[in-house]
């Protein structure tokens, strides 16, 4: 007698937190996860990819990654990501512009909820290419 085929769905990889816009979700390991750890760690190929990976790092509470991708000239000495009850709800990238070989901007809206109140962070982030990789420099907005 042949064994019965399994009707259970195969396990799926968790979706990446940065992929909340329209379109099919990407697995975390195939999206921001590869920049958070492993052979491609800290090597986001574009400022937009770095911005997305930084959003995911906020969601997943990865302060070491955030500090490592922050330009030394504007980087804080430490980060506290333990905001009680903060839940990140989604990210929408509005524009991604390259000014030249070493400068780019990403405009985005990140939605969150804390204490029953919804919040929107609308920012234009500036990035700089140095030492063979992108760094977050500063954000305008709030």
Domain ranges of the chain: 28-75+86-141
Confidence of residue 82 (pLDDT cuts 50, 70, 90): confident
Confidence of residue 13 (pLDDT cuts 50, 70, 90): confident
115, pLDDT greater than 70:
yes
Tell me, what's the pLDDT at 4?
53
Architecture of the 28-75+86-141 domain: Roll (3.10)
* b/e per residue 99-130 (b: at least 16 CB within 10 A): eeeeebbbbbebbbeeeeeeeebebebbbbbe
């Amino acid at each position: 007698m042949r064994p019965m085929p399994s009707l259970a769905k195969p396990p799926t990889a968790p979706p990446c937190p940065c992929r909340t816009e329209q379109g099919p979700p990407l697995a975390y390991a195939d999206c921001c996860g590869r920049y958070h750890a492993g052979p491609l760690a800290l090597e986001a190929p574009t400022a937009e990819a770095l911005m997305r990976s930084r959003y995911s790092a906020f969601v997943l509470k990865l302060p070491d990654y955030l500090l490592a991708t922050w330009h030394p000239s504007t980087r804080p000495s430490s980060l506290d990501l333990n905001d009680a009850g903060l839940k990140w709800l989604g990210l929408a990238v509005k524009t991604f512009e390259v000014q030249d070989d070493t400068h780019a901007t990403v405009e985005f809206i990140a939605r969150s909820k804390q204490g029953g109140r919804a919040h929107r962070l609308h920012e234009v982030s500036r990035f700089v290419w140095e030492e063979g990789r992108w760094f977050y420099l500063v954000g305008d907005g709030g």
